[in-house]
Amino acid sequence: MSDIQLKEAIHTLKETGVRITPQRHAILEYLIQSMSHPTADEIYKSLEGKFPNMSVATVYNNLRVFREAGLVKELTYGDASSRFDFVTSEHYHIICENCGKIVDFHYPGLDEVEQLASSVTGFKVGHHRMEIYGICPECNKGTTH
């Protein structure tokens, strides 16, 4: 599945006139394979062995290019560093208030919330986002409620 996503992402970039450098390819691949919604720093650290001349600024610049092309969403929650999510199907996030881990979940039943919001308010709805906060299983181990 991720090979198809990578090919489609590269095609989208080429269509918008973006050159596919080895660094861009590696960053895209990492984002598609990563389930952890990495920060720019985490992406940099995981790829610096492969690209010793790449800087954190290079990673940020490429993430901005991907965001502008609609391939990546920047997730900002509280004061923590932005995390980056490869855009797949519409999904929501549940966030650990202790360690900051973000996990995707899909709930198709919420799709109709946009129609409801529109019909109640008369707004032309563009999109919505939802975050749920709690403590992940790893952080919850050893704590009693």
**How do the pLDDT tens digits run along the chain, 145 residues long?**
467 788 888 888 888 888 999 999 999 999 888 877 899 999 999 999 999 999 999 999 999 999 888 888 888 876 677 888 887 766 778 888 888 888 877 776 676 788 888 889 999 888 777 788 999 999 998 665 5
Q: Taking the model in full, what pTM does it have?
A: 0.64
Reduce the secondary structure of the chain to three states and give it as a string.
CHHHHHHHHHHHHHHCCCCCCHHHHHHHHHHHHCCCCCEHHHHHHHHCCCCCCCCHHHHHHHHHHHHHCCCEEEECCCCCCCEEEECCCCCEEEEECCCCCEEEECCHHHHHHHHHHHHHHCCCCCCCCCEEEECCHHHHCCCCC
Domains by residue range for the chain, with CATH: 2-86 (1.10.10.10), 92-140 (3.30.1490.190)
